[in-house]
């Protein structure tokens, strides 16, 4: 392909503080409009913002986790623009000196691990929301969201495909949730992404003109929106045209992007330090404590899963992609008597597919880690075969009880008594003389057919290996 794709992402992560970044109003989602906006949030004259320390410490926590520089003194600035959902006429953000500078994130790509550089992460307040649907011919303004703390995380233009962009987003999503600084709820807008994208000829040193895609609130849409935009840009350039630097909106219903505003119409924000707020200071003692309290990070967890649990990289990536999955797995392993690989198989296979099909979250799985662990134990101790285990799993899913209860109530225990199997094997040999003769004549492959017949006769409850051994003994010795 002639074209190299260049992508840089700006992510807004809503910080999980109880109160707003510069006021004491609640940040809880879903309240009646304007019931959670105080005098500071609605921009009444004469009130003063007071910095929420918790938000600053969360930003620093993020910085430590990505190996960034935490600026010990950072500055809040006013970003001036007019919009109905911004009654003050400016948004408080950080500009020249953000709280976090630099840092990196490792992503998993089909070609291996890749490092994406983070430019900066800065604190800012969210704006309110315009409501267009409820009122005919009018727009309503809900200021509940005004003043909600956001951490804007800006990446370098280091991604080279939509898949890499999604990989980066997933990694960041998992990280902020592990750090417990953002709940990651994309439907509620707690984790939103603007994607900047350009193309250039392979080997070119300078970057092409970029467009910015807004309004993408799911991993799937990010990938789709980027693909569309790449195709559009290539078509424009190959037609002899130029890319205009502009903001485009992704419309998931029509599955296309359209222009929102061009850079010529872009605002001059006239940033200047906010005189109402002192510089944000983070002390060495704060950092020490944050370092001590840092949880195990996704990369470390991934490495530990691969080495301690003897898992393949892809398997471990799946299991560590969400905190809930990793917790589920580690609980199930304990309950399975320490068996790691079979447990991983069952989670990544059967459990995932049932959860996906019914759109159920891991934390709401009707099959608990304890139940899955016991199921794995019953496979290992040969009480049931892997095939019967699927039946047991389905019964557990449908609320028929634990693995042991299902095995007992449905009479699924594997026949381990070899004299009972010997009897069935003799019957099968008698019923299929031709096939038995072929095996005696050296066509060992045919044995599979007889094993199948014995399994059928025992409703799948015989151990296939034992059946195989007994058949060979009876036919070949």
Which residues are near ligand ADP by CB under 6 A? 6-10, 154-157, 196-198, 207-208, 210
Report in angstroms how near the CB of residue 254 gets to ligand ADP at its nearest. 24
Q: Which is nearer to ligand ADP, 49 or 208 (CB)?
A: 208
Report in angstroms how near the CB of residue 211 gets to ligand ADP at its nearest. 9
Report in angstroms how near the CB of residue 189 gets to ligand ADP at its nearest. 19
Q: Which is nearer to ligand ADP, 120 or 177 (CB)?
A: 120
Cβ–Cβ < 8 Å for 67, 32:
no
Report in angstroms how near the CB of residue 266 gets to ligand ADP at its nearest. 8
Q: Which is nearer to ligand ADP, 212 or 315 (CB)?
A: 212
Q: Which is nearer to ligand ADP, 194 or 404 (CB)?
A: 194
Cα-based distances in Å from 269 to 77, 90, 272, 336, 473: 10, 9, 9, 59, 86
Calpha distance 348→342 (Å, rounded): 10
**Closest residue to ligand ADP, based on beta-carbon distance:** 8
Widest distance between CA atoms in the chain: 100
DSSP string spanning 253-268?
TTTEEEEEEEGGG---
Calpha distance 369→452 (Å, rounded): 33
Calpha distance 393→351 (Å, rounded): 9
**Helix/strand/coil for 164:** helix
Report in angstroms how near the CB of residue 234 gets to ligand ADP at its nearest. 14
Q: Which is nearer to ligand ADP, 20 or 122 (CB)?
A: 122
210: exposed, middle or buried (Cβ count in 10 Å: 0-12, 13-18, 19+):
buried
Report in angstroms how near the CB of residue 10 gets to ligand ADP at its nearest. 5
Using a CB cutoff of 8 Å and minimum separation of 24, what contacts does 254-260 make? Answer: 255/224, 255/228, 256/228, 257/213, 257/225, 257/228, 257/229, 257/232, 260/214
Q: Which is nearer to ligand ADP, 154 or 236 (CB)?
A: 154
Cα-based distances in Å from 454 to 381, 439, 459, 463: 21, 15, 9, 10
Report in angstroms how near the CB of residue 198 gets to ligand ADP at its nearest. 3
Calpha distance 38→173 (Å, rounded): 30
Q: Which is nearer to ligand ADP, 156 or 405 (CB)?
A: 156
Q: Which is nearer to ligand ADP, 156 or 422 (CB)?
A: 156
Task: Give phi and psi for 172, each to the nearest 5.
Answer: -65, -40
Q: Which is nearer to ligand ADP, 9 or 332 (CB)?
A: 9
Report in angstroms how near the CB of residue 212 gets to ligand ADP at its nearest. 7
Q: Give the CB-side neighbour count of residue 95, counting CA atoms within 13 A.
A: 13
If we measure between CA atoms, which residue out of 232, 211, 229 comes closest to residue 221? 229
Report in angstroms how near the CB of residue 7 gets to ligand ADP at its nearest. 6
């Amino acid at each position: 392909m002639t074209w190299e794709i260049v992508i840089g992402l700006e992510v807004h992560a809503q910080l999980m503080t109880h109160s707003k970044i510069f006021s004491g109003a609640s940040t809880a989602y879903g309240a009646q409009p304007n019931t959670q906006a105080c005098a500071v949030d609605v921009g009444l004259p004469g009130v003063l913002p007071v910095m929420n320390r918790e938000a600053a410490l969360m930003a620093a926590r993020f910085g430590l986790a990505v190996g960034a520089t935490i600026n010990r003194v950072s500055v809040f600035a006013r970003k001036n623009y007019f919009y109905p959902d911004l009654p003050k006429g400016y948004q408080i953000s950080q500009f020249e000196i953000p709280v976090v500078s630099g840092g990196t994130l490792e992503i998993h790509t089909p070609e291996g691990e890749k490092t994406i550089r983070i430019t900066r992460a800065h604190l800012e307040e969210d704006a309110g929301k315009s409501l267009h649907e409820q009122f005919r011919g009018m727009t309503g303004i809900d200021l509940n969201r005004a003043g909600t703390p956001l951490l804007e995380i800006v990446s370098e233009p280091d991604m080279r495909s939509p898949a890499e962009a999604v990989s980066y987003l997933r990694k960041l999503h998992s990280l902020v949730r592990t750090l417990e600084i953002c709940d990651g709820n994309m439907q509620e807008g707690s984790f939103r992404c603007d994607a900047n994208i350009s193309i250039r000829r392979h080997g070119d040193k300078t970057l092409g003109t970029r467009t910015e895609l807004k309004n993408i609130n799911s991993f799937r849409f990010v990938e789709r929106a980027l693909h569309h935009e790449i195709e559009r840009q290539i078509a424009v350039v190959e037609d002899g045209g130029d890319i205009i630097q502009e903001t485009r909106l992704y419309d998931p219903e029509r599955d296309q992007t359209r222009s929102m505003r061009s850079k010529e119409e872009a605002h001059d924000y006239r940033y200047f330090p906010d005189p109402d707020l002192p510089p944000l200071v983070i002390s060495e003692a704060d950092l020490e404590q944050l370092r001590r309290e840092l949880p195990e990070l996704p990369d470390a967890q991934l490495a530990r899963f691969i080495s301690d649990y003897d898992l393949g990289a892809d398997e471990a990536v799946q299991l560590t992609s969400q905190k809930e999955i990793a917790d589920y797995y580690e609980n199930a392993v304990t309950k399975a008597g320490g068996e790691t690989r079979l447990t991983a198989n069952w989670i990544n296979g059967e459990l995932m597919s049932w959860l996906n099909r019914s759109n159920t979250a891991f934390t709401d799985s009707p099959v608990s880690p304890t139940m899955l662990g016991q199921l794995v134990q019953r496979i290992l101790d040969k009480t049931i075969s892997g095939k019967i285990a699927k039946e047991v799993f389905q019964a557990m899913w449908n609320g028929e009880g634990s693995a042991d209860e299902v095995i007992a109530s449905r009479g699924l225990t594997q026949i381990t008594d070899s004299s009972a199997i010997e009897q069935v094997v003799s019957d099968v040999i008698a019923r299929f003389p031709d096939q038995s003769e072929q095996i005696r004549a050296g066509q060992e492959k045919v044995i599979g057919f007889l094993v199948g017949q014995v399994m059928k006769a025992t409703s799948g409850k015989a151990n296939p290996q034992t059946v195989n051994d007994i058949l060979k003994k009876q036919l070949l010795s």
